[in-house]
Every structure is written in C-alpha cells, then in structure tokens.
Structure 1
Amino acid sequence: MYNSIQHFNEFGVKRIKKKIKNFIEEGKDLADLVLGLKEDLFKLGRDILKEVLEDMDEYFRNCEIRKQYWEIIRKDKTAILTTFGTLSYNRTYFKHKENGNRQHLVDRIVGVEPHDRVSADVVINAIDEAADSSYRKAGEKATYIDEISKQAVMNKIHNIEIVEPEIKVDKKREVKILYVEADEDHVALQQKSILRQNEKGKRNTIMPKLVYVHEGIDFEKSNKKRKVLKNVRYFGGVYNNSENLWLEVSEYIYKQYDVDFLETVYILGDGASWIRQGVNWLSKSKFVLDRYHLQKYVRVATTHLNDEAISQDLQDALNLSDKKKLTKVFKKIIEKTGDNESKIKAIKNAKRYILNNWDGIEIRSNRGIVGCSAEGHVSHVFSSRLSSRPKGWSRKGVEKMSKLIIYKKNGGKVYDIVMAQKQKKLAASRQEIQEKLIKELKKSSNRYESVWNSNLTVIHKGCKTGLYKELRRIIGICG
C-alpha cells in the first residue's frame, strides 16, 4: 500500500496541483475541477487495491504453513469491475496436495468468486439505484467510470435474497388505536394472455400487495402540505396466498404492541376480499372503506348530471349512514340519467359497491378515523417504479423488486442483504477448507510449532490495525 501512496505523492499530487491552478486561473466551473480530479483519485483507489491484493498473494506464496498443504501451480492475471473502475491484478493459483482442490486463495479470502466480473460494491450500487430507476440507469450509475449492462443488473435483482431484519423490542408500545391500510398495484407482465381468443394480445397483469401499519398522523413532523405517519411499518410483495401477508402483519403487531392495551385496529382499504380478510387475522379489528374509492364511485354516479344539489344529497346520505336516503337518491339519479344504458349500468354498479361496503362506510361516519392514504402510498411506493411507465415485467422481477422496495422503505440497507447473501454463499467453501486445515494443524502442532512464529513485522510488531487483525485471521485459515 505504501508504494501506491508514495507514487501518488510524487506524481499524482503534482498533477492535482496543476489542475487546481488551472481551475483558479482560467475561472472554470466547479464541475471541471471535479471531473479533473476524479481520474487521478480513482486511479489511486485502483492502485491501492491492486497493491493490497498482490501483497496478500505474496504472503500466501511465502507462508510456511501454506507450503505444507498447498502447492503453487501458476500465476494468473484477472480483472474485476469496482466502483473505481476496472481493477487488474495478479494472483497465484494453488492446488491442495491431498484432495487436489484448486483455488486462488487471495480471491477466496476477499470474497471474489471464480466467475465474478464485478465486485460487491458495484452490485450494491446497481441494486440500490435499480429500486428507484430503470435497470439501464442503474447499470450506468453502478460505477463512476465504467458501466454494466441492464441485463446484468436485472440478473442481480432476480438473484437477491431479501430478508427483513428482525425488530428488537425492549418494551411493547401502548397505543389505543392502530391503523392498517392496504391496497394493490396493477403491473403489466411481459407475457401475453393466450387464455381466450378474444383476449389475444392482451397483457397479463400481476398485483403486488401493500400493507402498512401506523399509529396515526405524527403532527410534530407534519405540515399543511405533507402528512407524516407515526411509526409506520411496511409489508408487501407478490403473494399467492394473502394469508401469509396477514400473518406477517399480525406477528408484527403482536411483537410491537401491547394487545391488551390496544382497543381498536382499523383496516382501511377499497373493500377487496383480500383486504377484508385481515379482519379475521387481526384481533379487535374493523374494516373501514377508504374515502378515495368511495368518492370515485360517487363521481361515477353524479358527475354526468352536473347537479350540485343531488351530489350533496348523496354525500349527506353517506355522511349520515342513511341507507334509505341513499336508495332514494340513487333512484332519482337513474331517473335523471334517461335512456343511457351504459351510464345506468355504471350507476347501478356504483350503488352495488357502496351497499356491499356499507359496514365500512358506517364506521367511518360514526368515528373520527384518520383518512386512508393507501392509494397515495401505492403510487409512491410501488407505482412510481413498477407501473407508472409503459413497461412489461417478468413475474420474478416484480416479486423481487416489490420486496426490495418494501425493504428499503423500512430503512433496510442494500449493503446488508448483498453482503449477508455473499457471506452465506462463501461460508460453505471456506468452512470446508478451514476445518480440514485446522484438523491437520492440530495433528502436527508440535512438529510445526516454529511455523507459527512468523517474522512478518505487521503481525508481531505492527499496530493493532484492521490489516493486522485480518492477517492474523488469514494465518489460521490459509495454513
């Protein structure tokens, strides 16, 4: 590492000073200085990485314990894309003397697999960006110099394993009212429907579901333009069985809240059967029809008449939960509509929807319930990425992306899931080799006791840095 930094001090600093001088004298834009410095600084990053990896490889070549079990086959050159650009370095190919296993030990130690072409930091950048924009843009922003293809980004998304971190609770929260809001998005799939001839060419759709739990509006953080929900937690994705989704929600509520102190759980939504199903899963819960969908059907029934009086009558019937008055108003609306059969059909459909969800309307009018924001949340959480632009998704893509979006909304870091998956994959191969080496070293501990007394300065006389600790660990693994 010292060589790369020393070289930068001798030559790189001079170039930087010259660029700064030109920037000041020529009165250039700040962007010119940023772009001018970027190349030198990224090259320094690549030089440091190259030196660290090749120094580690050289240590393995000279390691006495390694010589007992691994023999050198050859030295190879490889390249891997990092955030700093493409990194090229040399490393040694070893063969185990007993089982014939062949590996580049330095790659194994630093988590580079045999067929890796990009480092984990690039994968993290790509996945993080892909959750908010297109695969193409994610590939462009994954690294500061080069880029990866949108196909490569998609493959990384498809292969991630997203596990929501366990929430630790010291004491269950005591609240009297909880709100559970739910809705779904409609996402177009790439495959075309061939189920019916009259639907030939029609795109299939998939509906990722969204449920979020909160304690109402946080008035301290809210303002006139934007309402902030208090202690909100998101759940969702593509579910073949909605019971699994409600099971996740119920387990969260049970772990987070004192259910004995809790008085009511309001489930707000559009009345879909899967949303109403939540009442069977959450104790003390009541369904509430969200205002957005209610008003949508009110507009369907009244807008064509352009009659404020009849619109107000319908609204009064809903606000008072007066079913008789509602029926009379709908009768009057149909009479005024005339012979327009398609419109009459839409009006009757609106009436049917309202009556089918009357229980959810009654409870809203009788209690002061926070307005449902599920439709807006679906737009903000899912639609902006999945369905607002004309595109077709694969089913797996929607499943993974919806889970990734939920994970990030809950404060999860892409770094954690990428590194957890990577470590899980590497653990098996590392453990297999490590156990064999430890077993062999124990058998010959007396004979090779002197081998442990390495003269490597950084191991015995160096400061207790990260490099010191890592090399001590490597000694125990590489043997």
Structure 2
Amino acid sequence: MAEYVISMTAELHNLGLRMIQDSLEAMDQMLQDSPMRLKHWIVESHTTKQLVTSLGTVTFRKTLFTNKETGTSEYLLDRILGLERNERLTQDAEARLLSEAVQTSYRRGGEETSLTSEVSKQTVKNKLHQLNFPVHEVKAEKKKVDYLYIDADEDHVSLQWREKKGDLRENENHQKNNNLITKLVYVYEGIENESPKSKRHRLVNPYYFCRVNTGEDNLKFWDEINDYITNHYELETVKKIYLNADGGGWIKAGMNRLEGVTYVLDEFHLEKYLTKLTSHMKDSRDDAADELRKVIRSKTKKEFTRLVDRLEEYLEDETGVKELGKPGNTFCLTGQQQN
C-alpha cells in the first residue's frame, strides 16, 4: 500500500508539471497566432525555459518577440506571467523557500523550495538578502482605540563574519567582535483569545519592526515607529500608550522619541528580577515572591522598598547585597536601578 501511494504521488506530481507545461506553451502559441500581436511584434526566436515551482521544475518552450517600432525584444509570455528577466523561481516556490529558511537554514530552505526539486544554499541566501520591506502606508482614516501597547526586546546573534570570512578580530581577552544585536519592536492594540473556547492568546492588530542598528540609526528606527503610530491612530482618543521592555539603553533613547508613553517592566523581566531578589530565601522563595508581586500590584514604592529591606535581613553574608541593589541603590518598580 505504501509503495502504491508513493508511486501515485509521483505520478500526480508529474501530471501536474505536464499540465503546467502544456498550458504555458498553449499561451505562448496563442501569442504567436494573435492578429493583434502581429501589428506590433514579430517573432524573433524560440528558447527552452526551466522554471522552479512549488510542485517541481517545469520545462517549456517560449518565444522571443521584437517590437516593430522600438526594436526592443521581450518574452511576452513572461510579461503575462509577471516573471522578471532571468527569473528561475515562481513566487509560490520562493514563499516555501523563505518560510523554511527563516526557521531552520539556507540548506533546508533550498530543499523545501519545491516538492520535487531543490535550489542551492547560495540561491536561498541571495533571495533573503534581496528582500526589501516596504514602509507602512499612511491610512486615510485613523483608528480610534483606548490603549496602545509597544513591546521592545533584543537578541544577540553570533556572526561567522561581518563583511567577509576571516574579518573577525580578537581583543586582549580573546573575545571576538562577532556579536550583533537585533532589535524587535511591535505595536498592538491588546490581547484576545484565539477562539471563544481557547486558552491561547494572540495580539490584536500587531505591526512589527526589526532592525540591526546603533547610534543615530537607532533614533531613526524609533522615529519610524512613532510615524506609524501617528499615521494610524487618533492619538487624541488614546488614554495610554504602554511601552513594555527591560529598560535597555537603546529603548530608553527611543522613549524620548515617542510622545505620551508610559514605561512598564514586562512580565518576563519582572519575574527575572523577582528571582534575583528572592533566590536566597530557599524554601520560602515562592512566598517571598508572592509578597513582592502583591506589593508591586497594589501598594507603593515605599512599601516595596521596606519589603526589600526585610529580605536583606535574611542574607547569610554580603555576597547577595548586589542582587538586592544595595547599598546606595534601590530596586525600583520599573526594574531599573536609581540612586
């Protein structure tokens, strides 16, 4: 049975490829026979074209025509199909390639381009590097919402090289300059259940921004985010804009480029800091963390500081003082340290 299914699948793939080939060649023949085409274009030559689709590689014949008035030559079939000159991949195959490559590797992306064909790792790399992401369009009518949320975070990527192989350098501590920070910011209108019965959640109308930049480029990055918010929402009706982040330097710089933003320590980093504050409590750690959460949600910064002082009393030595932000610093509700 398994052999039968596998052989039938192969036959169906081949049948599909032959159908695509026949239809493309029939379209090309229609162009050759068209009286309207004869008024402006003459047949120059014929050639065989290979095109990688998500089903497999299609081989077909097409005709090169020359314009009588301008003398330029063009494959009219390519114009009808929306193919660029020398294009080897259809958009459906390219979509499979990119979808797999961003999840795994260039090699896997090349293998998954088509059900019966594959392309090289270099082709996958070239396609990824040629991607251009359009700037968001300005909406004719701006949306009115009560709240907006901005989440910002970063990830560290280890590079094999920067411009070319072998250009990484080591410092006196034998550390290579191969670390790159990627910045991700997304704007959304809230969170909702995926379905009435589902416990999973999803963001409402998210819009994503991702860059690798520093210095002035970082400010331009935040200006782009600000432009998106300004062009898509009636800010007069927005009660609050929350920025959820860990308070990194590039994020703090961006807060000065956004108007009316309230900074909030996101839950992931909040739990991270609570773990630091309570790790020395051993069996009582969970109870201590719960107390901190209650104080953060319903009480004042003064009461929070008082609780941190109590936690300090349980330290067995001075090694844990730094974790509590002592001395001289007080761990504040935003997750930053202030004098």
| Range into which the TM-score falls when normalised by the shorter chain | 0.7 to 0.9
Aligned to 1:238: 212
Distance 1:256 1:118, change over 3 A: closer
Give deviations 1:139-188, integer Å, cap 9, x for gaps: 2222111112232122111112222553746562231x333221111122
Q: How does 1:179-218 map to 2 (within 5 A)?
A: 179-191=149-161, 193-194=168-169, 196-200=171-175, 202=176, 204-218=178-192
Aligned to 2:86: 115
Q: 1:289 aligns with which of 246, 256, 265?
A: 265
Equivalent pair of 1:70/1:97 in contact (CA under 8 Å): yes
One-letter amino acid matched to 1:148:
V
Aligned to 2:200: 226
SS of residue paired to 2:159: strand
Aligned to 2:115: 144
1:325 aligns with 2:301: no
1:155 aligns with 2:155: no
d(CA) in 2 for partners of 1:331, 1:259:
44
One-letter amino acid matched to 2:156:
H
Equivalent pair of 1:209/1:238 in contact (CA under 8 Å): yes
Q: How does 1:327-476 map to 2 (within 5 A)?
A: 328-329=309-310, 332=313, 336-338=316-318, 343=319, 347-348=321-322, 351=325, 355=329, 358=332, 360=334
Aligned to 1:8: none
Distance 1:38 1:317, change over 3 A: closer
Equivalent pair of 2:247/2:335 in contact (CA under 8 Å): no
d(CA) in 2 for partners of 1:248, 1:273:
18
Considering fraction of residues, name the structure with more helix. Answer: 1
d(CA) in 2 for partners of 1:167, 1:353:
50
Equivalent pair of 1:57/1:106 in contact (CA under 8 Å): yes
d(CA) in 2 for partners of 1:318, 1:113:
62
d(CA) in 2 for partners of 1:152, 1:337:
59
One-letter amino acid matched to 1:161:
N
Aligned to 1:391: none
Distance 1:106 1:358, change over 3 A: same
One-letter amino acid matched to 2:9:
K
One-letter amino acid matched to 1:283:
E
One-letter amino acid matched to 1:194:
R
Equivalent pair of 2:53/2:114 in contact (CA under 8 Å): yes
Distance 1:331 1:228, change over 3 A: same
One-letter amino acid matched to 1:132:
Q
Give deviations 1:261-296, integer Å, cap 9, x for gaps: 322222121111222234323332221223432432
Equivalent pair of 1:174/1:262 in contact (CA under 8 Å): yes
SS of residue paired to 1:274: helix
Aligned to 2:164: none
Q: How does 1:5-154 map to 2 (within 5 A)?
A: 28=1, 32-33=4-5, 35-64=6-35, 66-67=37-38, 70-96=41-67, 100-154=71-125
Give deviations 1:85-136, integer Å, cap 9, x for gaps: 2222222334455665343333344334443333332112212333333332
Gaps of 5+ in 2: 162-166
Distance 1:232 1:96, change over 3 A: closer
Considering fraction of residues, name the structure with more strand. Answer: 2
- How far did residue 329 of structure 1 move? 4.5
SS of residue paired to 1:151: helix
Output the aligned Cα RMSD: 3.8
Equivalent pair of 2:158/2:179 in contact (CA under 8 Å): yes
- How far did residue 318 of structure 1 move? 6.2
d(CA) in 2 for partners of 1:77, 1:224:
52
Equivalent pair of 1:129/1:138 in contact (CA under 8 Å): yes
1:279 aligns with 2:259: no
One-letter amino acid matched to 2:219:
E
1:265 aligns with 2:241: yes
Q: 1:315 aligns with which of 267, 286, 292?
A: 292
- How far did residue 71 of structure 1 move? 4.5
| Greater relative contact order structure (CA < 8 Å, 6+ sep) | 1
d(CA) in 2 for partners of 1:160, 1:32:
41
Equivalent pair of 1:82/1:143 in contact (CA under 8 Å): yes
SS of residue paired to 2:52: strand
One-letter amino acid matched to 1:337:
D
Equivalent pair of 2:324/2:331 in contact (CA under 8 Å): no
Equivalent pair of 1:297/1:350 in contact (CA under 8 Å): no
- How far did residue 332 of structure 1 move? 3.6
SS of residue paired to 2:250: helix
Gaps of 5+ in 1: 1-27, 363-479
One-letter amino acid matched to 1:315:
L
